[in-house]
Amino acid sequence: MQFLSSFTKSLSPTTSTGNQSQPSQSSSGSSEVEKLFADAEQVQDRLVGVIVTISASASYDHNFREVRPETVPGEKVSTYSVDLFAAPKLQGFLSGQELEGLWAELVADIRSVAADSVTFNWECCGACSDKGFCTAQGTPPTWSLFSWSAHSPTMSFIAFALQSGFSVMCSDFSLKALLSEWSDELLGPNPFVRLPGSCDQQFQLEFFPQHLTHEDVPQQLQVVGELCTRDGKAVVKALGDTILYTLNPRRRATDRYTLKVLTVVTAWTGSAMAEAMKCEIEHGDMKKRGAAGHVALSYPSGGQLITSMGHWIELTRINTSAESIMEVAARNFGQAEVSKHQTKLSSARNEFERQRCLQEVSKEMIQKSVPSAFKSRTKY
């Protein structure tokens, strides 16, 4: 499909995981767990959320490593980087095993906040592929390592997190790995199907803003919906070999979870898809159809699995206005955020600079929002 053909991007040398451009190296080095942005935390602020971002080898999606999550003044969100091969240890630690080192602080933080304010984010990284999740440093993902009655450590931990009421997010390569290893026993019937081919360069997300502002939707997507009150569209850059996926039209009915399509991909650079395979979202007599963008599976435990085709770190354009930006800033981050953005906008010398500023501010607020329902936070 031809889409915004004027957009051009050169790709740097690829890694063995696919055709995506060379990723940034993990800042955690060889350590199993690292607390990020610790120097910026205020001890007196109330902890209201925890993000655990998980990767190994090298990461293509460094949003939660580079952008500190924020909420209103007086509250804070802790962020930890955990090595993918060590992440399953958390299942034991959260189940009562003896704690060690920084793991103790991480577990204490998780236990001190509401379950829907905890996110385990599996990054799109070199340890994830369409063959599954790597199981050890240097060991390629392959089901030959497991019997058909067993599950990989990562899949078992994902199921544990969801059963505990936490949020799990998988994007692009980690979504490929999830779909490859999906366990109906642990997660319920697989509602998804990979589409042939992949996306590169960029894609357009469409959605109904009213659907995204519900309290059960991850806060990050709530902010997107609040920014796009007039027209639910966003353009996201895609690195090579980005996943294309959709709902299986023949998926089994189940009471294991409730499913909601939050965004659809209506245009992309890459292979096309059959009309019968497209997802559909409706609002009144309006409909939008396309590949799956963001989908939420909500479990009776309160746990929520969020799947995403791309990464918000690659957001390039969103349909918003200065009025919406100020309302979102005030509601989610406080008056100081409003003043900061007003100063930025007032310094624009012409309409071009003003529009560029609107995009920069919108992107910043989305990227520093939390990818879970996060109901315990304060909103003004």
Distance between CA atoms of residues 197 and 193, nearest Å: 12
Query: Minimal CA–CA distance to 89: which of 77, 98, 80?
Result: 98
Among the residue ranges 70-74, 165-169, 228-232, the one predicted with the least confidence is 228-232
Least Cα distance to 309 among 274, 265, 249 occurs for: 265
Amino acid at 216: D
Task: Look at the block and give the residue holding tokens 């590949």.
Answer: 291
In the predicted model, what is the mean pLDDT of the chain? Answer: 88
The 10s digit of each residue's pLDDT in 87-142 is 999 999 999 998 888 999 999 999 999 999 999 999 999 999 999 998 766 555 54
- In terms of C-beta density within 10 A (0-12 exposed, 13-18 middle, 19 or more buried), how is residue 167 classed? buried
Q: What is the CA radius of gyration of the chain?
A: 20
The answer on pLDDT for 7 being more than 60 is no
- The answer on pLDDT for 31 being more than 90 is no
pLDDT confidence bin for 377, thresholds 50/70/90: confident
pLDDT at 229 (0 to 100): 87
**Regarding predicted confidence, which is higher, 328 or 272?**
328
pLDDT at residue number 158: 98
Q: Which of 236, 232, 321, 228 is nearest to 282 (CA)?
A: 232
* Three-state DSSP state, 294: strand
In this structure, which amino acid lies at residue 380? Y
> How far apart are alpha carbons 82 and 95 in whole angstroms?
18
What does the domain layout of the chain look like in residue ranges? Answer: 33-134+151-368
Predicted local distance difference test score (pLDDT) of residue 200:
85
**Alpha-carbon span 286 to 207, nearest angstrom:** 11
User: Which pLDDT tens digit goes with each residue over 187-237?
Assistant: 999 999 999 888 988 999 999 999 999 999 999 999 999 999 888 999 999
Confidence (pLDDT) at 201: 86
pLDDT tens digits, residue range 326-343? 999 999 999 999 999 999
